[in-house]
Structure 1
Amino acid sequence: MIAEWVRTARKDAGLSQADLGAKLALELGEERGHTKANISHWETKKHSPNLRQLMAIAKITDHNLPPQLMQGRTPEVAPTDFEASNDSPFIEGGMPVRIGDEPDTIPIRRVKLKLRAGIAGYETEPELEDGGVLHVPRRIIEKNNFVPHLLLAVTVKGCSMEPLLFEDDVVVVNTADRKPADRELFAVNFNGEACVKQLWKDGGHWFLRSFHPKHGPVSVRSGQCEIVGRVVYQPGRELTGRL
């Protein structure tokens, strides 16, 4: 049902699969958007769009959402995707809303950083946990003038930043802010490894500093170091200002 609806809505709007993917990127505030292959997979039932993507398609194509989504569950939409009330996640006559899609939050892409030693820059691959996004309060974005598509949500690995950050914590990295700053947290590419460290300047030299006592500071001169972006937010608290 969803596959047929996506295909019909797209064709009625006179859009190719590539056109729809590009418009979705703009509507959802995503940097890379969706490819022709993504849309094709939706239309051939290989994968299904989530509710947020469906709502964006409805807006782009000026098509109403499938009536079944307004009345009850469908086999193509997992019940856990919705905010449940009693036995059914729907209120008759209402609009289904995905948890975290409140108007006071902005979705930030969750990614894994793909780095290689000796190679400048970085690539990303989607982190599919929690729907592939982290919902950040809109007030945080607006107060700091962040550009949403330049923010990345990444998972902390290892225990070197305890007790400030623990393994598997999620933090937001502002890739637009790569200027070194003393005692600020940054995501860095150090010898091909992605890590979160505090930049620390001592005696005119820069170091990567951990917070766990078992991990001493490391001079950036001891290897190849490239800043990916400043760590600015962790759910529940901002991480800017000297620590």
Structure 2
Amino acid sequence: MSSTLTVQVFNLLTMTTLAERLQVALDQAKMKQIELARRVGITRGAVSLWLKGATTKVEGENLVKAAQVLGVSPNWLATGRGRMKSASPREIALEDNPEYPAIRRVKIKISAGVTGFGVEPLADDHAPIVFHRSWYESNGYSPESLIAIKVNGASMEPGLYDGDWVVVNTDDTQPRDGIAFAVNYDGEVVVKRLFRTDGQWVAASDNPDKRIYRDRPMNGDTFIIGRIVHKQSERI
């Protein structure tokens, strides 16, 4: 009995990857990949990528749901640190939970030539994006300064697709070369990657078809709303 326990503890301590931890959690829960995918609300392919090591980390709602379904600690599943199982299994209430600050899904309201912007929260059927507070702390983000907006169009493919969601850090408005930002471009909210060219900032699309998606110079009526810090997509 003692040797068996020692081996089990050693195995838990030596698991350094998400794939290893997830496989152990699945085995202990006696659960198949397809059941985990169904209960978390993701595709079986996404779970397969977790187990193959192609996806090296799980965050936000998927992390919380997967941990809850498997009966393990979200922190352990994500990082390997702490107890595998919570001392007392309990349901995690996400609403107004300081451990899991929520990011609102909104529609940004702007006007051409105006630096400020307003936000219009979307209907209740658009659940917020949720992360454990450690994610905010490790990245230096203020939860109240983060908003989530939907991507429109194909200009940022293949990195972002129409219908994807991105989290915008409105505290971060200093342009940086090669970094994606949400921008007020002549009264239109766009997600673009900024580049410094010939002494001028340019808003560029990731889509390689430059006949349709041309680079556009940042002019006096162009204002940065915030840096893109996270994306949520169903495209694999």
Normalising by structure 1, report the TM-score: 0.53
Q: How does 1:59-208 map to 2 (within 5 A)?
A: 97-98=92-93, 105-128=100-123, 130-208=125-203
Structure-2 change in CA distance of 1:148 and 1:99 (3 Å): closer
Cα distance in structure 1, aligned partners of 2:140 and 2:177: 21
Match of 2:231 in 1: 234
Partner-residue secondary structure (3-state), 1:143: helix
Distance 2:214 2:102 in 1: 35
Q: Distance in 1 between matches of 2:178 and 2:161?
A: 18
What SS does structure 1 have at the residue aligned with 2:155?
Answer: coil
TM-score, normalisation: structure 2: 0.54
The structural deviation recorded for 1:119 is 2.3
Q: Helix, strand or coil for the counterpart of 1:142?
A: helix
CA distance in 1, matches of 2:104, 2:228: 14
- What is the root-mean-square deviation of aligned Cα atoms in Å? 2.8
The residue number in structure 1 matching 2:42 is none
Deviation of 1:167 after TM superposition, in Å, equals: 0.9
1:105 aligns to what SS in structure 2?
Answer: coil
Distance (whole Å) between structure 1 residues aligned to residue 208 and residue 184 of structure 2: 22
Report what 1:224 is aligned to: 221
| Equivalent-residue separation in structure 2 for 1:213 and 1:95 (angstroms) | 48
Kindly tell me the number of residue pairs found equivalent between the two proteins.
Answer: 144
Q: Give the partner amino acid of 1:219.
A: P
Alpha carbons of structure 1 residues 188 and 158: separation in structure 2 relative to 1, 3 Å: same
The amino acid across from 1:217 in the alignment is D
What secondary structure is seen at the aligned counterpart in 2 of 1:141? helix
* Cα distance per residue 1:32-58 (max 9 Å; x no partner): xxxxxxxxxxxxxxxxxxxxxxxxxxx
Letter in 2 for 1:232: V
Q: Residue type of the partner of 2:171?
A: A
Change (3 A) 1:143 1:235: farther
Structure 2 CA distance for aligned equivalents of residues 130 and 138 of structure 1: 24
Q: Which amino acid aligns with 2:203?
A: L
Distance 2:179 2:124 in 1: 27
CA contact (8 A) 1:186 1:230 kept: yes
Q: Which runs of 5+ in 1 are unaligned?
A: 1-82, 85-93, 237-243
Contact residue 100 and residue 135 of structure 1 kept, 8 A:
no
Task: For residue 146 of structure 1, report the CA deviation from its aligned partner.
Answer: 0.6
CA positional deviation for 1:120? 2.3
Identify the range of structure 1 (206-215 vs 120-129) with the bigger mean alpha-carbon deviation: 120-129
Structure 1 runs, 4 residues or longer, greater than 4 Å off: 94-104, 129-132
Contact 1:154 1:173 in 2 (8 A): yes
Task: Determine helix, strand or coil for the equivalent of 2:227.
Answer: strand
Partners of 2:160 and 2:138 in 1: CA distance: 23
CA contact (8 A) 1:153 1:170 kept: yes
